[in-house]
Amino acid sequence: MSDQGEGNFDETSDGHGDVGDTGRCSEAGAGESTPLQCRASFFQNWSWASVANINEGLCKRAGATFGASGETHRTVAESWENRRNKEVTFEETLDFLKHCHRSAPFLNFNGNTFAEIGRAFVGALLVGFPTPRARLMVSAVGHYIAGTLDKKSLSSAFSEMANTPTFEEGMRVKTLKGSLFGVVTGFSADGLVIWKADGSNTTFKNTPSTLLPASAPDKQPQESPEINPDQIGQDGRISRTISSDAPSKSKKPSGK
CATH number (domain holding residue 72): 1.20.120
Q: How far apart are CA 114 and CA 160, in angstroms?
A: 24
**Domain co-membership, 56 together with 120:** yes
**Domain co-membership, 133 together with 209:** no
**Domain co-membership, 53 together with 136:** yes
Each residue's pLDDT, cut to its tens digit, for the chain (256 residues) gives 434 445 554 444 433 333 333 444 444 433 445 788 888 999 999 999 999 999 999 999 999 999 999 899 999 999 999 999 999 999 999 999 999 999 999 999 999 999 999 999 988 888 777 788 888 899 999 999 999 999 999 998 888 777 777 888 999 988 877 888 899 999 888 888 898 889 888 888 888 878 888 887 655 444 444 445 454 455 444 454 444 444 545 555 555 4
Q: How far apart are CA 6 and CA 87, in angstroms?
A: 48
Cα dihedral across residues 233, 238, 244, 245: positive or negative: negative
The verdict on residue 152 lying in a domain is yes
Q: With contact defined as beta carbons under 8 Å apart, do 35 and 158 qualify?
A: yes
- Residue-range definition of the domain harbouring residue 199: 166-213
The verdict on residue 85 lying in a domain is yes
Q: With contact defined as beta carbons under 8 Å apart, do 182 and 172 qualify?
A: yes
**Domain co-membership, 62 together with 111:** yes
What's the predicted TM-score (pTM) here? 0.62
CATH number (domain holding residue 203): 2.30.30.30
Q: How many CB atoms lie within 10 A of CB 201?
A: 10
**Domain co-membership, 60 together with 47:** yes
Element (H, E) at 185: strand 181-187
Domain count, the chain: 2
